Amino acid sequence: WPCSGMAHAVLAVVVVSLSLPLGFYSSQSYVLDDKQGLGRVFDGIGGLSGGGATSRLLVNYAEPYRSQILDYLFKPDFGASLHILKVEIGGDAQTTDGTEPSHMHYENDENYFRGYEWWLMKEAKKRNPNITLIGLPWAFPGWVGHGKNWPYDFPDITAAYVVNWILGAKQYHDLDIQYVGHVFIAKVLRSTLDKVGLTVVGVIAADSNWSISSSMISDPYLLDVIGAHYPGTTTVSDALKTQKKLWSSEDYSTFNDEVGGGCWARILNQNYVNGHMTATISWNLVASYYEKLPFGRDGLMTAEEPWSGNYVVESPVWITAHTTQFSQPGWTYLQTVGQLAQGGSYIALTDGKGNLTVVIETMTHDHSVCIRPPLPVFNVTSQNATFLLKGSFASIKELQVWRSQFNFRTKNPSFFEKLTPLKLLDGSFTLNLVEDEVYTLTTITTGRKGSHPDPPPSARFPKIYKDNFNVRKYPPFSEAPNFADQTGVFENYVNMTDPGPHTFTLRQVITERPVTWATDADQTISVIGDYQWHNLMVTCDVFMENTKTGGVFIAARVDKGGQSVRSAKGIFFWVFADGTYKVTSDLAGQTVLEEGQSGTQAYGWHTLSLTVKGQSALGLLDGNPLWNNTVVPSPKNGWAAIGTHSFELAQFDNFVVVAE
C-alpha cells in the first residue's frame, strides 16, 4: 500500500467490488501536472447522423419517446451529452443504409426543408445551445458531376453547392454551421466560403485519412482541421507537424453491445493518448434504421421501432458520459496523460480555472474490438494506480467518482454509477483497477445519470399497414413514415392539378443517376416493414410519368438494401408504360419468372397487387388476375418495397401490406 494514510478514504470508494486487497498488486505512480504547460485543446465528442440515412426512423417516433431519445443524446448532464453533431449534406444517393434528399435535386432547384437533418440539428441545439454543428457531403446530385460519377471536375460548382447548404441552414433554420468537411476541393471551398462572408466556418479535410497532411505543411491556409476516419487511435508525423487540430472525424461503427461499448471506451481515451486527436465522432449517432440493413445497430443507442415506441439506451451512451459530462470543448488536455503500466489508459483535462477531470479505462483486447481497423494484440491486467496531483491541482481535496464495470464474466454490467466522493490526502489517490472498467474522477459536481420512464416493449412491425400519403400541404418531413429509400428519393407530393383521390401521393423525384462512392442500383427502391415477412400481400396504386420507357414495381421478400441494394433479390412485380409487365426475382430485372402484355400506360393510375405464399405468387392489375401460380423459390423472407425501372418520375398511392 503506497500511501497508507489514505486507506480508509479510498477503500470506501473502490473496494466494494474487489475480491483482492489493494496491496496484492504492484503499484505504479502517475503524475497529473500543469507546471510544464498543457497539451492540446479538447474539441469534444460527437455523433454522426447520415452517411447514410442512419436517423431515418427516428423522426417517425411519437412523443414523448422521440424527445426522450433526443434527451439521452444531447441534453447536458443527462446522458451522452454530446458536444458535436455532424450530419450528412444529402446528395440523393445511397451512402450506406439509405439515401438522404439533396437541397438541390437539380441545378435550378433549391429547397431547404427536405429530409430530417435540419430538424435534428434544431432539436440538438434546443437542448445544448453550445453544440458544434458540422456538415459533410457523402454524395451529390447527378448534375454536379456533369454526367460523371465524380463531383470535382468543376470544383467551383461543387463548392457553391456545399456553401448553399450552409447559407440555407442559417437563412431558413437559424443554424450556424461551424465546420464543413470535404475531400478534394478544400482550397476552393475555403475561398468560396470567404467570398460569401463565411470566414468563421472551418474546413475539415480530407475527412477520410491523413493523406492531406503533407500538403498542409506547405499550405497551412488550406484548412482548419485534419480529419481522419477510423484511424485506429494513431496519427502520422506529417499531421503532427502541421500543428493543426487533429480529429477522428468518423469512428466507432461497431455493434452497440457491451463489446461495442468497450471499443468506444478505449478509443475515446486512446485517440488522444496515442494520436493527439482532440475530437472523436461516432458513426453513427443513433441506430435508427432497419437492423437488417448494413451495419445494423452501429449507433450510440438504438431506436429502430417507431411503430412500438421502443428504444434502448445502450452502453456507449454512458461511456460517452464519462467524458462529456465532466469536460467541455475549450478545456485542455494535460501533457501528463498516457498508458497504464499493466494496460489501459488515462487522460486528464482542465478548464484552466482549477477544475480537473480524469478518465481511466482498462478495456481488454477481446472486449474492445472495433469493426475497423484490425486491433493489435495487447494485454490488460488488474493493477494498483497511484495518481499524484501536482501544480495547480495539488490543493484539490475531493474528487467525484463515476464508474462503469462491464463484468463480462457475470454478464451483469453496471454503467455510469456514482460512487462516494474520494477524499485526497497530500494530493494523491490510489485505485485498484481491474479489467474492463471505466472511471471518471472529477471536481465537477453536476454529473447525472438521467432517466425517463421505460419505453414501451419491443414489437414487430404491424402485420397490417396502410398509408394513403394524405399529408398537409407542407408536411414536417418530406419522407413517408417508415419507408426507407435505398436508391432514389421518394417524397410526399401534393398534385395540385388533380383534386381527386390522388391529390396526395408519394413521388420518386430523381431523374439522373447521382454521384456516389456507394453502389446505387439502376432502379429506385424504397423498402418498408418486417424483414422476417414470408407470406404477405402488397397493394399499391401506381402512376408512371415517363411515356416511353417508364416502369414501376411493387415487391415482397426484398432481401438486401443499403450499399448492397444493387444485388437485392425478392419477388418484383413490374408494369411498364409500353403496355407490358414482368415478374422477376431480382431488382436488376434479369431473372424473369413471368412476362406478357398488361395494357398499362403512363399518365394513368393503375392498382397493382402482389400476393406471395410459400413458393408461389400471383399478381392482380386493377383488381383482375394478370398472372398466378408463379414459383418463387427464394428468398424466403424480406421487406416489402416500391420503386421504378430507372431514375424517373413516378407516383404511388394507397399502399397496403397484409402479412401473415
The distance from CA 221 to its chain's CA centroid, rounded to whole angstroms, is: 30
Per-residue pLDDT at 514 exceeds 90: yes
**Residues in Cβ contact with 24 at an 8 Å cutoff, skipping those fewer than 6 apart:** none
Per-residue pLDDT at 524 exceeds 90: yes
**What is the β-pairing status of strands 202-208 and 179-181?**
parallel
Residue 540 pairs in a beta bridge with: 608
CB-based contact 408:315 (threshold 8 Å): no
Per-residue pLDDT at 5 exceeds 70: no
What mean pLDDT do residues 371-394 have?
97
Average pLDDT, the chain: 94
Q: How confident is the model at residue 49 (pLDDT cuts 50, 70, 90)?
A: very high
Distance CA(442)–CA(331), nearest Å, equals 13
What mean pLDDT do residues 450-477 have?
92
Percentage of the chain exceeding pLDDT 90:
88
Q: How confident is the model at residue 633 (pLDDT cuts 50, 70, 90)?
A: confident
**Residues in Cβ contact with 215 at an 8 Å cutoff, skipping those fewer than 6 apart:** 222
DSSP H or E stretch at residue 403: strand 398-405
Q: What is the pLDDT of residue 519?
A: 80
DSSP per-residue codes, 575-644: EETTSEEEEEEETTS-SEEEEEE----TTSEEEEEEEEETTEEEEEETTEEEEEEEE-------EEEEEE
Q: Which residue from 263, 273, 246, 271 is spatially nearest to 299, judged by alpha carbons?
A: 263
Residue 607 pairs in a beta bridge with: 541
Whole-Å CA distances, 234 to 68, 199, 218, 358, 590: 35, 30, 22, 21, 46
What mean pLDDT do residues 430-448 have?
98
Instruction: List the beta strands (DSSP E) in 209-270.
Output: 225-229, 245-252
- Reading the block at residue 484, the C-alpha cell is 426507407
DSSP H or E stretch at residue 160: helix 155-173
Q: Quote the pTM value.
A: 0.95
**Residues in Cβ contact with 631 at an 8 Å cutoff, skipping those fewer than 6 apart:** 593, 615, 616
- Reading the block at residue 599, the C-alpha cell is 395494357
| Other beta carbons less than 10 A from residue 292's beta carbon | 17
Instruction: List the beta strands (DSSP E) in 43-144.
Output: 44-49, 84-88, 132-136, 139-140
Per-residue pLDDT at 223 exceeds 90: no
What mean pLDDT do residues 329-350 have?
98
What mean pLDDT do residues 191-199 have?
96
- Reading the block at residue 314, the C-alpha cell is 445502450
Distance CA(511)–CA(524), nearest Å, equals 10
Distance CA(338)–CA(359), nearest Å, equals 11
Per-residue pLDDT at 17 exceeds 70: no
Q: What is the DSSP letter of 513?
A: P
CB-based contact 224:205 (threshold 8 Å): no
Q: What is the pLDDT of residue 4?
A: 29
What mean pLDDT do residues 342-354 have?
98
Higher pLDDT, 526 or 6: 526
Kindly list the structural domains of the chain, giving each domain's residue range(s) and its CATH number in brackets, ordered by start.
38-442 (3.20.20.80), 464-659 (2.60.120.560)
Q: How confident is the model at residue 94 (pLDDT cuts 50, 70, 90)?
A: very high
Per-residue pLDDT at 12 exceeds 80: no
Q: What is the pLDDT of residue 25?
A: 60
Residue 504 pairs in a beta bridge with: 494
Distance CA(582)–CA(554), nearest Å, equals 11
Per-residue pLDDT at 580 exceeds 90: yes
DSSP per-residue codes, 250-296: EEE----SHHHHHHHHHHHHHHHHTT---EEEEE-SEE-S-TTSTTT
**What is the β-pairing status of strands 225-229 and 202-208?**
parallel
Q: What is the pLDDT of residue 26?
A: 66
Quick: pLDDT tens for 280-307: 999 999 999 999 999 999 999 999 999 9
> Burial of 488 by CB count in 10 Å (0-12 exposed, 13-18 middle, 19+ buried)?
buried
Per-residue pLDDT at 582 exceeds 50: yes
Distance CA(89)–CA(103), nearest Å, equals 8
SS3 category, 353: coil
